[in-house]
């Protein structure tokens, strides 16, 4: 394969899986009590979610640009003609713009994609890139295809606690207190780089049902014109039983589709907290070269 595919761990793809599927991965840093760890490298999701459930301080950071450049250089020096880099959305991190600037020094051999995705839908972008590479597309063509279809995806996220949204300023202290008393759960939607409130419902089960209903409607719109979809499910559950229950609910609602579960990536989990649950759907790229 002449074209390398590179992403970051916001996609839910870590280095071990990357080696298995032929994708290079930049691990994202996370800061726990002042100590920096790297997602999927020296801290597991189970450890991170337990940390969240205990209410300990967490923060994420952009990857060191030197680490990104090292991977680019290693890939090109190993014999690839070019490479496509698919990081998290520019609207959610400054690392994409930084990478786009640095790519100008590589004479067109590095194509940085900004297709406004994160978490499970970023994985979908990588899967599309792999399919395009199999059809003979090179880096610039993959970038063009991914950016053209950037907004053919959507993510919904429900939260188990309002404390993390309060800390980020998305919910006031009074609103969080009242919501906790009334067991109100906000359902959030991510379209492109925008994180907005979609609905407020009472109770986790009701919130999950509302999320699935919204996704069924989205799927019907894509399927009406013959489109095919990727479905990804995620959660920040420290309890494996809760993860299994959420995954089973989605699979029951989408019996004719393949549903993949990934732990919620650190970049989202640190803002929504423990026991959050999400789902992302993207239209597959099916066009030919």
143 has a pLDDT exceeding 90: yes
Q: Tell me what the pLDDT averaged over the chain comes to.
A: 84
Q: Report yes or no on whether pTM surpasses 0.85.
A: yes
pLDDT at residue 183, rounded to an integer: 46
In this structure, are 113 and 8 located in the same domain? Answer: yes
Region 141-168: mean pLDDT is 81
In a domain, 252, yes or no: yes
What does the pLDDT look like over 86-119, one tens digit per residue?
Answer: 998 766 667 788 888 999 999 999 999 988 888 8
**Residue 233 scores a pLDDT above 50:** yes
Mean pLDDT, to the nearest integer, of 51-57? 82
- Give 208's contacts (C-beta < 8 A, 6+ positions apart): 158, 246, 249, 277
Is residue 254 included in any domain, yes or no? Answer: yes
The count of domains in the chain is 2
Last residue of a domain, one of 148, 167, 199: 148
What crossing angle do the helices spanning 204-223 and 240-253 adopt, rounded to 10°?
40
Domain boundary pick from 107, 127, 148: 148
**261 φ, ψ (degrees, to nearest 5):** -105, 135
State residue 167's pLDDT score. Answer: 54
Look up the CATH number of the domain holding residue 140. Answer: 3.40.50.10170
Query: Per the domain annotation, does 118 fall within a domain?
Result: yes
Same domain, 128 and 207: no
Boundary (domain end) residue, out of 101, 127, 148: 148
Q: Give residue-wise pLDDT tens across range 166-220.
A: 455 444 443 333 334 334 567 777 776 666 767 777 788 998 999 999 999 999 8
- The CA distance from 113 to 168, in Å, is 28
Once rounded to an integer, what is the mean pLDDT over residues 122-134?
A: 96
Quick: pLDDT tens for 44-53: 888 888 888 8
Q: Which DSSP state fits 9? A: G
- Considering the domain architecture, whether residues 8 and 140 belong to the same structural domain is answered as yes
Range of the domain at 263: 153-283
Q: Is residue 289 part of a domain?
A: no
24 occurs within a structural domain: yes
Question: Do 195 and 93 share a domain, yes or no?
Answer: no
Q: Is 194 in the same domain as 265?
A: yes
> In 94-147, which ranges are E strands?
110-112
């Amino acid at each position: 394969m002449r074209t390398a595919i590179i992403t970051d761990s916001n996609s839910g793809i870590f280095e071990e899986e990357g080696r298995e599927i032929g994708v290079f991965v930049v691990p994202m840093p996370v800061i726990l009590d002042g100590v920096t760890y790297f997602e999927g490298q020296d801290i597991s999701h189970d450890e991170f979610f337990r940390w969240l459930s205990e209410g300990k301080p967490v923060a994420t950071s952009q990857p060191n640009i030197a680490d990104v450049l090292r991977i680019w250089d290693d890939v090109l020096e190993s014999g690839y003609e070019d490479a496509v880099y698919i990081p998290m959305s520019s609207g959610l991190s400054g690392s994409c713009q930084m990478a786009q600037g640095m790519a100008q020094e590589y004479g067109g051999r590095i194509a940085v994609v900004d297709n406004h995705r994160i978490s499970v839908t970023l994985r979908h972008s990588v899967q599309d890139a792999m399919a395009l590479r199999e059809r003979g597309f090179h880096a610039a063509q993959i970038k063009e295809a991914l950016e053209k279809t950037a907004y053919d995806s959507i993510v919904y996220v429900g939260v188990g606690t309002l404390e993390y949204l309060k800390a980020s300023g998305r919910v006031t202290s009074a609103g969080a207190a009242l919501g906790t008393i009334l067991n109100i759960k906000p359902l959030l939607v991510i379209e492109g780089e925008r994180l907005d409130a979609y609905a407020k419902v009472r109770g986790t089960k009701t919130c999950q049902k509302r999320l699935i209903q919204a996704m069924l409607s989205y799927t019907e719109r894509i399927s009406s014109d013959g489109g095919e979809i990727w479905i990804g499910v995620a959660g920040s559950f420290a309890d494996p039983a809760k993860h299994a229950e959420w995954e089973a609910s989605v699979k029951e609602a989408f019996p004719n589709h393949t549903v993949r579960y990934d732990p919620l990536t650190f970049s989202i989990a640190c803002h929504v907290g423990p026991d959050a649950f999400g789902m992302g759907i993207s239209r597959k790229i099916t066009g030919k070269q």
